[in-house]
């Protein structure tokens, strides 16, 4: 047996962890890979629920903890957190010296890691590149990460085509589907009553709403004002139970979370959880009747549960979506109408466009078969399969 491939996985928030969990689980069991796991970003934040505890509970061995988030989440503090991340990961990667870094998505924390890996000449494998989310600056971060990456695991054919448009080598782009769906197949689901009790929602409601709303970082509007519009719509559904989860560590996210908490405290039919955790979140998708907000989970995972989704505003604009997703403007009346439509929508025939839950095995097999990681570093621009200088 030759030398194992050293793979460093970096996770910065609950948003990417649910996608990375199953690939990490398989890599921990692989005889061909030596796995290191670096935890950063909101995982280490009291404000965001210290979700590193959930990672450890899942049996994932954490190699390093790298706190980078600075106080506050305005543009200045987020930018400084990115800068701190680049400096911290310069040391981390120099210490671990992995053969390859595996990351997911479009978060600013991940941008820091990839910049450090680029300069350190460590190849990057990127999951979920090529997607489009025009309402957030994450869109630009994702495409930038793609150009600094060397192996691409994409979730759908549209994203594959976009990455080829960016000049990436077709031989290094793999359509695997979303690894977050793999976790669904391995999740233990409880009875609806047990789940409702677990979130602390008192009262007996016939139907339930799951609400997750993140700031639109490119709209120019005030995130606090935006979320108040969303919550104004909830007042029209007092006969429904409402389970609210917290916003990401985005610009304006702290203010959004404070408003969400206050709403839950003052409304008996609502509860707030900064994070439900991976397993309980999937139980929420199984047991609620409609998912409202602007989370990518409404597009990625919810269709696998045949769950109708009301996708509000521009954060996920032009992202591939199933027929179970109802898009609407950030407008009270339109959101109310969309929720009513969703509550009556049959999703029995919905097919999830992000795969069937077998992505992680494909991802790990590709990594196991990388013989010379350093050879990936010299990239060329490809146009429809033809290389040109």
Query: CA 296 to CA 218: how far, in whole Å?
Result: 16
Ramachandran category for residue 364: left, alpha or beta (phi over 0 → left; psi -120 to 50 → alpha): alpha
Our separate counts of H helices and E strands in the chain read 14, 15
Residues 146, 166: Cα–Cα separation, whole Å: 8
Query: d(Cα 68, Cα 57) in Å, to the nearest integer?
Result: 23
Q: Which residues contact 353 (CB under 8 A, 6 or more apart)?
A: 156, 303, 320, 321, 322
CA 69 to chain centre: 18
DSSP string, 55-98: HHHTTPPP-EEE--PPS--SHHHHHHHHHHHHHHHHHHHHHH--
Assigned token pair, 241 = 């139970």
> Facing residues of 212 across strands?
245, 293
β-strand partners of 151:
125
Tell me what pLDDT residue 250 has: 74
Tokens standing for residue 107: 């978060």
What is the residue extent of each domain of the chain? 5-185+357-388, 192-343
- 10 Å Cβ neighbour count for 104? 28
Cα separations in angstroms, 329 against 6, 219, 297, 315, 320: 46, 12, 18, 11, 17
Q: Give SS3 for 36.
A: strand
Q: What is the pLDDT of residue 195?
A: 96
Rounded Cα–Cα distance for residues 343 and 206 (Å)? 12
What pLDDT is stored for residue 91 in this prediction? 97
Q: Give residue 389's pLDDT.
A: 42
What is the rounded (10 degree) CA torsion for 378, 111, 385, 100?
Answer: 50
pLDDT at position 384 is: 65
| SS3 state at 99 | coil
Distance, CA of 107 to CA of 42 (rounded, Å): 11
Report residue 27 CA to chain centroid gap.
Answer: 20
Within 10 angstroms of residue 35's Cβ, the number of other Cβ atoms is 23
Res 339: pLDDT: 98
Both tokens assigned to 328 = 């609407």
Query: If DSSP codes are grouped into helix, strand and coil, which group holds residue 327?
Result: strand
Task: For residue 330, give both structure tokens.
Answer: 């950030």
For residue 387, the number of C-alpha atoms closer than 13 Å in the C-beta half-sphere is: 6
| Four-way CATH pick for 5-185+357-388: 3.30.2350.10, 1.10.10.60, 3.30.420.40, 3.40.50.2000 | 3.40.50.2000
**173: β partners:** 152
Domains 5-185+357-388 and 192-343 share a fold: yes
Tens-digit pLDDT profile for the chain (389 aa)?
A: 568 999 999 999 888 898 999 999 999 999 999 999 999 988 888 776 788 998 999 999 999 999 988 877 688 988 999 999 999 999 999 999 999 999 998 889 999 999 999 999 999 999 999 998 877 788 899 999 999 999 999 999 999 999 999 999 999 999 999 999 998 988 889 999 999 999 999 878 999 999 999 988 777 789 899 999 999 999 999 999 999 999 877 777 889 999 999 999 999 999 999 989 888 999 999 999 999 999 999 999 999 999 999 999 988 988 999 999 999 999 999 999 999 999 999 999 999 999 988 999 999 999 999 999 999 999 999 986 565 44
Neighbours of 49 (CB within 10 A): 19
Evaluate whether the domain defined by 192-343 bears CATH number 3.40.47.10: no
Q: Is 11 helix (H, G, I), strand (E, B) or coil?
A: strand
**Structure tokens that stand for 190 in this block:** 């409880």
């Amino acid at each position: 047996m030759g030398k194992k491939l050293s793979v460093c996985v970096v996770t910065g928030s609950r948003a990417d962890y649910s996608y990375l969990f199953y690939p990490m689980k398989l890599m921990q069991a692989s005889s061909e890979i030596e796995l290191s796991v670096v935890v950063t970003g909101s995982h280490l934040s009291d404000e965001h629920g210290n979700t590193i505890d959930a990672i450890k509970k899942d049996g994932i061995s954490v190699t390093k903890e790298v706190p980078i988030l600075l106080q506050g989440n305005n543009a200045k503090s987020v930018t400084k957190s990115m800068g701190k991340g680049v400096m911290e990961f310069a040391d981390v990667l120099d210490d671990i010296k992995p053969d390859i870094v595996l990351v997911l998505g479009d978060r600013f924390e991940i941008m820091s890691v990839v910049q450090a890996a680029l300069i350190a000449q460590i190849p990057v494998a990127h999951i979920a590149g090529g997607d489009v989310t025009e309402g957030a600056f994450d869109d630009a971060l994702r495409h930038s990460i793609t150009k600094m990456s060397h192996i691409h695991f994409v979730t759908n054919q549209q994203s594959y085509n976009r990455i080829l448009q960016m000049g990436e080598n077709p031989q290094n782009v793999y359509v695997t589907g979303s690894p977050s769906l793999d976790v669904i197949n391995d999740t233990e689901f409880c009875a609806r009553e047990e789940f409702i009790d677990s979130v602390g929602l008192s009262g007996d409601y016939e139907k339930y709403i799951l609400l997750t709303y993140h700031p639109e970082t490119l709209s120019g509007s005030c995130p606090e004002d935006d979320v108040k519009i969303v919550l104004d719509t909830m007042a029209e559904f007092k006969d429904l139970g409402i389970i609210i989860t917290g916003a990401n560590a985005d610009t304006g996210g702290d203010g959004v979370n404070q408003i969400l908490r206050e709403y839950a405290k003052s409304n008996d039919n609502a509860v707030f959880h900064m994070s439900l955790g991976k397993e309980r979140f999937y139980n929420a998708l199984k047991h609620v009747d409609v998912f409202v907000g602007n989370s990518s989970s409404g597009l990625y995972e919810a269709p696998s549960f045949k769950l109708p989704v009301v996708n509000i505003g521009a954060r996920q604009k032009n992202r591939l979506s199933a027929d179970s997703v109802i898009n609407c403007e950030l407008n009270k009346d339109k959101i109310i109408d969309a929720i009513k439509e969703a509550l009556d929508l049959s999703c029995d025939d919905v097919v999830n466009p992000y795969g069937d839950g077998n992505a992680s095995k494909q991802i790990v097999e590709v990594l196991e078969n990388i013989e010379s990681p350093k050879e990936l570093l010299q990239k060329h621009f490809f146009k429809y399969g033809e290389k040109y200088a």
